[in-house]
Structure 1
Amino acid sequence: MSQPLSIKAADRCQFDLVSLGEVMIRLDPGETRIRTARQFHVWEGGGEYNVARGLRRCFGLRTGLVSAFADNEIGRLAEDLILQGGVDMSFVKWMPYDGLGRTIRNGLNFTERGFGIRGAVGCSDRGLTAASQLKAGDVDWELLFGELGVRWFHTGGIYAALSDSTPEVVIEAVQCAKKHGTVVSYDLNYRPSLWKGIGGHAKAQQVNREIAKCVDVMIGNEEDFTACLGLDVEGVDENIRGIDVGSFKRMIEKAVAEFPNFLATGTTLREVHTATVNDWSAIVWYDGKFYESNDYPKLEIMDRVGGGDSFASGLIYGFLNTGDPAKAVNYGAAHGALAMTTPGDTTMVTVEEVEKIIAGGGARVVR
């Protein structure tokens, strides 16, 4: 049986959490489609970054970002958006722009939300990005983890899949974090479109299984655990519907048996009825036991992108603030549910709203 998480005291660390990942400019056509849009709303977003921003804006914790940008107007737009979110950028690297984007650029992410029977669509334009060109040795991890101090470090499979060099950056980071007693979480976040450019499914398993050796809290859904760690979920059809929770729990038990360093695992359970109506809940395994969140059946969704990242930030907050896995899974599920009621990748809610939902509060007008 695993041992409970050991989290550094806040007064010993400059940061409560630091995330490693790429941040893209998200261009959102609103209620229309990418292919027919005449204007876009602009947000910033990235799987790993969204966790840091959620912990800062919703939960009030001290968070930072490790990433890189090409130093041009698009990069500075991302900077402005990130700073509005309150996330520290001291460990962001600015790379000289070549004037055209032949060798370096910043990523764009066109995302339409979907409605009813029409699913959400994402179209990323992220080749040759600055963040994907970070290499082992580019970041002073000893300064970050050894001198300044970080209570929790978060990264994930999206960043690990961006290039031939980013897996080494992730491995270097998680090893240093573990050396200095920082809790490490990792969201598997399997994206076959990313992995196919650097070795495909076999490479995804090779890289993620190596990273998994240094992970304390592993986050992912049933497809993630299967594709990235080679663990199967019984009772799941090809469309990932109708999940049998008992079979899923057996898969998690298999995962923690194979990776005894996992002190906790967390996953969301989603059944998609339509793009705008999902069943939503979450499960956490911790110290040999499973903890299930409140259920949110027929959850009405405005924008599903970032729901899983908001689950992760709520889960982490619950562990940092309470140490109680039953509370942590409910913070995660409620925060993820609320985040999907607003546009953009990142949260627009408060901790008071999250706690109201956990306590069973309804949607009556607040005056």
Structure 2
Amino acid sequence: MSKKLITFGEVMMRLSPPGYSKFSQTTSFDLVYGGGEANVAISCGYLGMKAAHVTRFPDNALGRAATQFLRKHWLGTINVIYGDNMLGKYFLEKGAVHRPSEVIYEREGSAFSLIKPEMVNWEEVLEGADWFHWTGITPAISEGAAMCCLDAIKTANKMGVTVSGDINSRKNMWKYGKTMQEVMPEFVENCDIVITSSRGIHELFGLGENGKKFRNSAKQLMDTFPRIKKVVGKTRKSISASHQQIQGKMWNGEKYIKSEMFNITHVIDRVGTGDAFAAGLIYGLLHCDNDLQALNFASAACALKHTVEGDVNMVSLDNVLNLMEGDTSGKIKR
């Protein structure tokens, strides 16, 4: 029987100049939809899992178009909520070689930011689920979004559903009167799996050293929050905007594990690669024989996302397994 994943978070419209044009050059934008948590769910759907996303869209044609995007990409949308009239959006100028990408957000006052905890019955949503995933972006959007996400996490705990949190957050997003240091501990203490970095652990909790020795920071995080079973991250080496190297790493409470290094020599789209890593980790921990296999699966999925346009990693299970087995040829499959 397929494993079932539930995710919760904002989905935005992404507008990008065609190709690698700059904002100042373009007269049109390519449009897709994406959001960290939905990206994870869609990626797991492409890998063969059952997946559904909980969000709130405006009650208009844009909200319905965004819903159709989720349905098109294997997601259940029965728990999508509608109200208000603004869909969050962001503009992406894709970098190349030595020129970095640039992102501009327009999400304040979005339908999702106005969500309230009473709008979602999490016991119904999580019925039959194996896994719930959230990211640190959601609690930063608004107090309503934060409380709704915390309700989901605590309900999942009561129902025996595994909870993972990708907790690295954007500190500039916290604008509703509370800091991430005030809010995030209660979220993280109820997680089974945490995806983060030594920098994230230091910024959020004052543990470890900023940017140094992931293993030591992960140990301290698990000592502080005993529910956590695994702390996972990745090392990214940016040779240029077009050439990246990726390696997964994990502290599982007993040993420190690293995946093989994946070399991505021609980056097509870097956005969503962290979500692809999270999706690969979720799939790997549910289906692989051990933590090292799961970590290699996550890293391979992340590497493949660099070759896919848009926010979402639309690769198959066979694509990931072939890369794990060393097939980097890119030969046509007939």
The answer to whether TM tops 0.5 is yes
Q: Secondary structure at the match of 2:24?
A: helix
Q: How many residues align?
A: 332
Are 1:190 and 1:227, in contact at CA under 8 Å, matched by a contact in 2?
no
After superposition, give the CA deviation of every residue in 1:140-187 in whole Å (9 maximum; x if it has no partner).
012123xx3210000111111101222111111100000000000011
Are 2:13 and 2:31, in contact at CA under 8 Å, matched by a contact in 1?
yes
Aligned to 1:177: 156
Aligned to 1:38: 27
Aligned to 2:219: 253
- 2: CA distance between counterparts of 1:225 and 1:116? 30
Would the alpha carbon gap of residues 299 and 219 (structure 1) be closer, same or farther in structure 2, given more than 3 Å must change?
farther
Aligned to 2:180: 204
Equivalent position to 1:349, from 306, 315, 327: 315
Aligned to 2:79: 91
Gaps of 5+ in 2: none
Equivalent position to 1:321, from 287, 297, 304: 287
Equivalent position to 2:93, from 96, 107, 112: 112
Residues 235-254 of structure 1 mapped to structure 2, 5 A cutoff: 236=211, 247-254=213-220
Residues 307-318 of structure 1 mapped to structure 2, 5 A cutoff: 307-318=273-284
- 1: CA distance between counterparts of 2:198 and 2:33? 27
Aligned to 1:239: none
CA RMSD of aligned residues (A): 1.7
Aligned to 1:271: 237
Are 1:299 and 1:337, in contact at CA under 8 Å, matched by a contact in 2?
no
- 1: CA distance between counterparts of 2:289 and 2:36? 24
Equivalent position to 1:77, from 62, 65, 73: 65
Q: Secondary structure at the match of 1:34?
A: coil
* Structure with larger RCO (C-alpha < 8 A, sep 6+): 1
1:133 aligns with 2:114: yes
Identical positions, percent: 30
1:144 aligns with 2:125: yes
**TM-score relative to the length of structure 1:** 0.86
1:330 aligns with 2:299: no
- 1: CA distance between counterparts of 2:264 and 2:163? 33
Aligned to 2:50: 62
Gaps of 5+ in 1: 1-9, 98-104, 237-243
Q: Secondary structure at the match of 1:150?
A: coil
Are 2:139 and 2:145, in contact at CA under 8 Å, matched by a contact in 1?
yes
Equivalent position to 2:189, from 213, 218, 224: 213
**TM-score relative to the length of structure 2:** 0.95
After superposition, give the CA deviation of every residue in 1:186-227 in whole Å (9 maximum; x if it has no partner).
1113112212x1346xx1012111101110000123332222
- 2: CA distance between counterparts of 1:297 and 1:322? 23
1:358 aligns with 2:324: yes
- 1: CA distance between counterparts of 2:149 and 2:264? 37
Equivalent position to 1:262, from 217, 228, 232: 228
After superposition, give the CA deviation of every residue in 1:226-285 in whole Å (9 maximum; x if it has no partner).
222322335x4xxxxxxx6xx221111111111111011111111222111122111122
Are 1:204 and 1:227, in contact at CA under 8 Å, matched by a contact in 2?
no
- 2: CA distance between counterparts of 1:189 and 1:181? 24
Q: Name the stretch that deviates more: 251-260 or 219-228.
A: 219-228
- 1: CA distance between counterparts of 2:73 and 2:315? 12
